[in-house]
Structures are given as C-alpha cells and as structure tokens.
Structure 1
Amino acid sequence: MFGSGSEIKSPEQVQRMREAGLVVADALAAVRAAVRPGVTTGELDRVAEDLIRSRGATPSFLGYGDPPFPATICASVNDAVVHGIPGGQLLAEGDVVSIDCGAIVADETGQGWHGDAAITVAVGEVPAEVTELMRVTEEAMWRGIAAARVGGRVGDISHAVEHHVRSQGGYGIVEDYTGHGIGTEMHLPPDVPNYGRPGRGPRLRRGLALAVEPMITLGDPRTRVAADEWTVVTVDGSVAAHFEHTFALTDSGVWVLTAHDGGRAALERLGVPYGGD
C-alpha cells in the first residue's frame, strides 16, 4: 500500500487482474456484436452476464452500491453519460450506447481481483459529429494511459486527457465523475480526473493499477442523476461518449489489462513502452 489506501500489486496479482480484464474484454466484444436497432439494453445485459459467468467470473456491478445496482452492465444511451440501468429500453437507429462492464476473478485464496472497461457503440448510422465525439473520447483515453509512467503523477494522466479533448474542439469534459484505482475493489484511491495539471497528485509506482475513463459531451458538461438514483444524464440533453480501460504499471511499461492485445498497438503508435508479457 501507499498513500491513502492505494494498492501496489505484485506481478502475480497483476496477472490475476489480467485474467479479469480479459473476461471484461470478451464480454464487451460480445455486447458490441449484439448491438443493433430493436435490441433492448436488458438483452445486452444478459449477453454480458452469461459470458462473465461462463468464464467462472463474477459481475462487479451487480449489487454494487446503495441502492444496489441491479444489473451486470451499465448501458447509457445518448444523453446518459454513465450508470444507465439496462432494461426494456429499445435501441434505435442513430443512438449511441455506452457499455460499462466489470468482472471479478478470484485467486487461490478466494481474494477477488477486478477488471473494468467501457466502450461507446453506435447503433447503425449516427451523425458525423457523434462519430467524431466517440473518436475524440477514445483517443483521449489512450493519450491519458500513454502519459502514465513509473515516477510520474496522476496529474500527468489527467492533463493528457484534457489536452487532447481541448485540442479537438469545444467539447464538454464531465468533471463530476473520474477514473480510479482498482484491484481488490472496483473503486480504490487514487481518483483519476479527466482534467488537471501535470506533475500534480499521487505518484505513479510499479504495481499500481488504474482505470482511466473520459466522459465527454457535445454540449454542457454538467450532469444530474435521474430518478432511478443511478443514471447520470447531461443537463442540456446533449449526447455523451465514454471509454475506459484498466491498466497496470510494470517494470517494462504500461500493460492495458482490459485490452485483448494488452494495449500494444495503441501504445506503440503513441511511442510508449508496452509493459505486458
């Protein structure tokens, strides 16, 4: 441990998180393949839960929080930024849906290790400005991850996310919700905001695992929580996008635990050492 409860993992523990991360990656791939006009968000939830349980893992989100979250995924459509509860909502041509998913894999002692990731998926054809919003949000996530290095600071990640978004136009950066530490719990210190100054915040160390998750809007970044006590929506009804990956810092670099390729392609494109095995 170091600093306010942040966890430092051994290589063996990071490997267990990689197992959880691959379950999440497979679940998100299955859900992406199932997205189409006419499908309900509840049907997408069943796809994810079936896959996670078939791998001997446990959904991270189901029963989490107060009130307990009632599903395996968060399915947030259009102006819903995060924490959308899946159910009977039908997806229609032109929608976008953020799918956030977590899974727990237990080690030989019974200790659970978490993986957490999110994608935003277009339902059929969407307006060009929405496609661009998705591109900017996903790239901001990768720029944030690529800014992480042993000896750096959390603010380096935050600044890289913000700098990329600001460089692409007048997008809104949601400030009320952040990335986070992750490991034996889904949410651990430190918080990882999507804005900030480099060289600030907790120090980044080998064995630290973080989830980076920019939430970006086409309009006002302010949000409110809906009557269901979970779904976060934009106050002006503007469309939002959300992408997330869990990564760990290793002796050799950054290892994206929830990416099938460990993040190798994106990190090499950005000139960052790949830290997987």
Structure 2
Amino acid sequence: MIEILTAAELDRARETGALVGTILQAMKERATVGVNLLDIDRWTKQMIEDAGAVSCYVDYAPSFGRGPFGHYICTAVNDAVLHGLPHDYALRDGDLLTLDLAVTLRGISADAAISFVVGETQAPEDLAMIDATQRALAAGIAAARPNARIGDISRAIGTVLRTAGYPINLEFGGHGIGSTMHQDPHIANDGRPGRGYILRPGLLLAIEPWVMADTDELVTDDDGWTLRSATGARTAHTEHTIAITEKGAEILTLPRA
C-alpha cells in the first residue's frame, strides 16, 4: 500500500514527527553511563502515553520477528543495529547506542533513529561511521523531490556509504509510512537511479541508512528480534521521516525547539 496524504493529514504528520524527534532527543540526553535499557524503554512509554500517542512497536509482529515486540523503543548496542530488543543492560562508557522509535498520533505514524556514543570514550571510528550514515541520510533526502524516483534516493545513499568504505546490506532499508508504520515503497540503501516509484507530493518516506563496520551480513539474537553484525563489528543507523512537498523534501522528525 502507498498512501498520498492530504494537506490536513500532512499537518498531523508534522505533529507526529516532532513528537518522535523530541522523544529521541530526550532519551539521548538520559542515556548516560549506568542507565539501563529497560529504563529508556519505560521513559519512552511514559512520553508516548503523555502525548496521547500509540507505540508502533508493542504489538508489532512481522514474519521476520518473534513477535509481538512488546516494547516501546528499539535499543541496539555496539554490534546490534536493527530491532534491538530492550533488556536488562546498564550502559557503559564507550557504548555505541542506536535508538529507533516509531509512534502513531492522530492516525499518522512517524519513524526515526539516532546513533551516538555513550560517555566520554568516543572512538574516532565510531564517530566516522555515525557521520557516514548522517551524510548518507542527508544525500538521500536531497534526492527526494517530486518526480524523482526511489532509485535516485537509494543511489544517493549508497554512493556516500560506499565511498566511506562500508559494505551495504540491501535486506532492510527505508519504507513508505502513513497511517501504518511500514508501507511500500521499499527504499534500499543502494540502487540504480531512474528506477522505481515516482515521488509525489503528499508521500511520506522513512529513509534509514545503516551500516556495519566490516560486513553486510546480519545474525539474529536468541530473542528473535535483535539483528547484529555477523562479525561482531560495531554499527550505526540514522533515520528521518520526510514528506514530499511541491518544493522538495520536508524533514518531519526533528525535535521541537
């Protein structure tokens, strides 16, 4: 399913996106050394409920997971990169943490992710990997404009990641979003320009470059959800939900000022 939102629905999408960005920023500020991942999940739940929103994750049960997910935010640490299931783990100095969040507010969903290093020990290779995903996201957003194609976004993302020297996994990537979290079209993190769905004003897309330092192969934890690098290498993941407008792409998941 691909949805094209009305002007009124886009206004609601802006509210949802701002909520997602604000919660992620709050959780980043709280994610200090010694904080437990289950506390981050609990704080996220409280902020979602206080806003009158609904988690996209609690009842999420796709074919690839061991569902339902049962938590409010994805917390992926170090070699984990996607679908990190919150568990009893206290953050340590130098941990590379990815927080991925999707909520629905007033019938419209938004999805975003951030990666950052916890504490004072900031390894240059971790910061470089995070920076590469952020630059790839910016390139993908810049390519997202009316009458462009999904392949243009994919190629823009892939060019940045490949130039930075990272292998690219094409199994998981970005996606359409709207009244539900995951919709068509799929947005691979590399591809051929001029191919795929033609972008139209009113379309919402969640664009999400992610990489693993030295592999494109994933393995799944015994929890049935958390995806890790097959080599134990560190990982990074950055995501925004955007709206295609007549003027180009509007980022929806920035925190409120």
TM over 0.5: yes
1:252 CA displacement: 2.2
1:261 CA displacement: 7.2
Identical aligned residues as a percent: 38
Helix, strand or coil for the counterpart of 1:255?
Answer: strand
The residue aligned with 1:99 is 99
Look up the equivalent residue of 1:10 and give its one-letter code: T
Judge conservation of contact 2:25–2:255 (CA < 8 Å) in 1.
no
C-alpha offsets along residues 69-126 of structure 1, whole Å, 9 cap, x if unaligned?
11000000011011011121111111111100011112xxxxx210100000211122
Q: Are residue 203 (structure 1) and residue 203 (structure 2) matched? A: no
Look up the equivalent residue of 1:88 and give its one-letter code: D
Q: CA RMSD in A?
A: 1.3
The residue aligned with 1:214 is 209
Q: Are residue 155 (structure 1) and residue 131 (structure 2) matched? A: no
C-alpha offsets along residues 11-50 of structure 1, whole Å, 9 cap, x if unaligned?
1111111111111011101100011111111111112111
The residue correspondences of 1:31-42 to structure 2 (distance < 5 A) are 31-42=27-38
Look up the equivalent residue of 1:100 and give its one-letter code: D
Q: Are residue 62 (structure 1) and residue 62 (structure 2) matched? A: no
The residue aligned with 2:171 is 176
Tell me, in whole angstroms, the C-alpha distance in 2 between the residues paired with 1:197 and 1:56.
41
Large movers: runs of 4+ above 4 Å: none
The residue aligned with 2:123 is 127
Judge conservation of contact 2:18–2:256 (CA < 8 Å) in 1.
no
The residue aligned with 1:275 is none
Ranked by relative contact order (alpha carbons within 8 Å, sequence separation 6 or more), the top structure is 2
Tell me, in whole angstroms, the C-alpha distance in 1 between the residues paired with 2:246 and 2:122.
42
1:260 CA displacement: 3.5
Q: Structure 1 length as normaliser, TM-score?
A: 0.88
Judge conservation of contact 1:221–1:234 (CA < 8 Å) in 2.
yes
The residue aligned with 1:273 is none
Q: Are residue 8 (structure 1) and residue 7 (structure 2) matched? A: no
Judge conservation of contact 1:27–1:47 (CA < 8 Å) in 2.
no
Q: Structure 2 length as normaliser, TM-score?
A: 0.95
Tell me, in whole angstroms, the C-alpha distance in 2 between the residues paired with 1:248 and 1:190.
14
The residue aligned with 1:83 is 83
Tell me, in whole angstroms, the C-alpha distance in 2 between the residues paired with 1:221 and 1:239.
12
Counting matched residue pairs gives: 252
1:174 CA displacement: 2.2
Helix, strand or coil for the counterpart of 1:198?
Answer: coil
Tell me, in whole angstroms, the C-alpha distance in 2 between the residues paired with 1:142 and 1:59.
26
The residue aligned with 1:189 is 184
Tell me, in whole angstroms, the C-alpha distance in 1 between the residues paired with 2:134 and 2:169.
14
Q: Are residue 234 (structure 1) and residue 229 (structure 2) matched? A: yes
1:149 CA displacement: 0.8
Helix, strand or coil for the counterpart of 2:137?
Answer: helix
Helix, strand or coil for the counterpart of 1:126?
Answer: coil
Look up the equivalent residue of 2:21 and give its one-letter code: A
